[in-house]
Amino acid sequence: MMIGVIIFLLFVGLGYLTDGLKNLETQVMDLHLNLKNTWQVQSRDGSVTRENKSSKLSDDIVIIGVDNKSLETYGQWPFPRRIHADLLNSFSRIKDQNQRESAVLLDFLFNETADRAYEDVILLDSIKENGNVSLQTLHTTLPINSYDQDALTDRFQILLDNYGELKNIKGDLSKVSPQYGIESPLIPYGRAINSYGHATYKEDYDKTHRRLQLVSRYSIQINEYTFKDLKPGMDFGVINRGHLAWENESGALETVQLPLDSESLDNLSKDIQRRGLKGMTLPDYKFTSYEDHFIPAISLTLALQYFNKSLDDVEVVYGSHILIPSPMKWDKTSGIWTPYIIPGNAETEDIVIPIDDGGNMLINFMGPKSSAIQGEYRTFPVRSYSRFAQIAPGMNSETWNKTNGLGGKVVMVGAFTLGMADDEKPTPMGLMFGVEIHANALNTILMENFIQKPPVWVNTLVMLLLILFFAFITSRMKGLAWSVVILLAFVVVSFLTITILFEYQGILIDWATPIIAVICTFVAVVIYRVFTAEKDKRQIKNVFGQFIAPELVEELAVSPPELGGNNINGTVLFSDIRDFSGLSLRQDAPTLVHILNDYLTVMTDNMVIDYNGTLDKYIGDAIMTFWGAPKEYEDHAVKACKSAIAQIRLLDSLNPSLMEKYNERLAIGIGINSGSKEG
């Protein structure tokens, strides 16, 4: 057990000191996602268009892709903005307005004016007419270098003024990295849309996109200070969600622990002297105060539109969850909002999205990249951009179609062909266009198909129990082969178990870490047993070498007898010297000892070495020997009888020597009994 405890402490330490084990668990999650996809694809081979039909895939997400067909129709990207207007008009202009889409995402950044001003006017009119359009912002860690920083701030301020931000924020903000740069749509677009959200992707250690920061902390510069301006007690608006920052020698911004006190100021001065910009004196070192704003990801924004909820309805608790209370859904048949029901489930009271300390949600990818080509695999329904843009109706409502097949759906418009934009991102499922990453994130929310990690203490406890269990099993198993079989069986069964939990419950339990820990425990215990077994063998040989035959000593060292009584079928032999009392009176003690040594040596060698007996004990001049243990013999009685005959012959050979040396001649009596006995 001590070996198990040591390995457990080692792995706990590795988990805290390095990211290697965490990264390995991330790769296991990727494997789960790809296995899920393999099962789904295999079940659909042979269909005309292989679309994902998983029960955990929302029917209300549609991708409108700018594909090769669209490029052939409209030419080089970017398209004239009046084409985007035609696309939006095809959504808006239907006779039955109850059959309208729930939300529209244009996955394009309108941060520059069109070459022809009237193109912007046409598109803005269509955005306003549609009323469901969302646009996105892009956030950067450092401030964006711009000749007009105020213009960027003004664009973002329009979004705040018109649509607000997430305000019900709780949790530890010290673990949430601020974003100091933002790209927002032009002001006219900011005023025309229905809502906004950021589209900043979160990369993991290997540049793969597995999670989405559902809430981004964007910080606007307020004031500048120098170190000499800082005083104990200053909080720089912490109560109002603000913070103070300074630039280190690498150009990164570091936040200051607030509110200030004498100790924090002293630590700050030391940090600046170690990592601050060269050439600046401490009193004049610059600090900037920022006002924090919490911006939803575009996928969260679209989900709120779908659920008919506002940003004010949402509760954010960093390190725990995002709560969307009482979600609703548009009933396109009755034309009213009804309580949201996930297909196959009961009415959903609240949507509770698990997030980590940084506000990130793991995306439960539903499959590999979809194709816009008819007949090829699609995770989500993909329709060609040109298909809708070409059928844009005019102003006359009499000519409009009754519906367009998008009733109640979230329509996501974005790049869907190579070459038009650098929009393919690495994901666990391979390269994927950004709009489909957003679709997977949105589906995760709409279907409550969340990937949930148990608390750290749960994974730690599971690892401890498994380590101790295998330390116990490995130390008790007789054969190494059975231990290996049990270990391999556990690896397979445990992986299948957590795969089922992941697929059906969305629970992601650590697997790689405890498995590696168990294997290390197994190897350590085996090595320990090898070394201790050699020690035990030497001890057995030393102890039993004088009592049993050498070949039996070797066998006993390889397979020591079990403790506890066992019924054995054997033979016991008793032999003693006749008239030993008289002998004792005739001889002095030293002579008597020599006589006994000569006699017992010859007789013991006969029984133990020549006839494989086991010496039980000496009782004065008597010898007690048995056959049948530790090794069983079918001819145990025969061996005992042969040994008895041999003793008589050996005594005849020994007596002349005894007569010559001690003037004594010995006679012995022998008794033999066979049967079942407890050994």
- Which CATH number covers residue 638? 3.30.70.1230
> Do 508 and 429 reside in the same domain of the chain?
no
- Indicate whether 318 belongs to any domain: yes
Asked whether residue 40 falls in the same domain as residue 64, the answer is no
Is the domain of 306 the same as that of 329? yes
- Together in a domain, 31 and 129: no
pLDDT for residue 675: 87
Across the chain, what does the average pLDDT equal?
86
- If asked whether residues 472 and 398 sit together in one domain, one would say no
Q: How far apart are CA 256 and CA 271, in angstroms?
A: 10
Structural domain harbouring 317: 57-214+297-446
Of 417, 446, 475, the residue that ends a domain is 446
Strand residues in 421-522 grouped as ranges (E): 424-427, 430-433
User: What are the helix and strand counts (H, E) for the chain?
Assistant: 18, 26
Q: What is the mean pLDDT of residues 78-103?
A: 94
Whether the per-residue pLDDT at 368 is higher than 80: the answer is yes
- The model carries a pTM of 0.77
Residue ending a domain, choose from 446, 476, 510: 446
User: Rounded to an integer, what distance in angstroms lies between the CA atom of residue 313 and that of residue 447?
Assistant: 19
Shared domain for 141 and 157, answered yes or no, is yes
Residue 55: per-residue pLDDT: 81
Lowest mean pLDDT segment, chosen from 115-129, 202-216, 479-493, 561-575: 561-575
Let me know if 43 is exposed, middle or buried by CB neighbors in 10 A (0-12, 13-18, 19+): exposed
Domain annotation covers residue 237? no
Same domain, 418 and 515: no
Whether the per-residue pLDDT at 121 is higher than 90: the answer is yes
Instruction: Tell whether 269 is covered by a domain.
Output: no
Residue ending a domain, choose from 544, 573, 594:
544
pLDDT at 37: 66
Torsional sign, CA 108, 113, 119, 124: positive
Split at pLDDT 50, 70, 90, the class of 600 is confident
Residue 419 or residue 557, greater confidence = 419
State mean pLDDT over 442-469. Answer: 91
Domain co-membership, 420 together with 461: no
Is residue 581 in a domain?
yes
Within a domain: residue 241? no
Residue 250 included in any domain: no
Beta strands in 327-454 (DSSP E): 328-331, 336-339, 350-354, 360-362, 382-384, 410-415, 424-427, 430-433
Q: Is residue 647 part of a domain?
A: yes
* 267 domain residue, yes or no: no
Q: Does residue 205 sit in the same domain as residue 344?
A: yes
Q: What's the rounded Cα separation, in Å, for the pair 294 and 312? A: 12
Quote the tokens at residue 629. Answer: 């243990």
Q: Give me the pLDDT at residue 565, please.
A: 52
Regarding whether 75 and 15 lie in a shared domain, the answer is no
Residue 563 pLDDT class (50, 70, 90 cuts):
very low
- Do 176 and 206 sit in the same domain of this protein? yes
Check whether residue 61 and residue 86 sit in a common domain.
Answer: yes
Domain count, the chain: 3
- Alpha-carbon distance of 393 to 408, in angstroms, equals 20
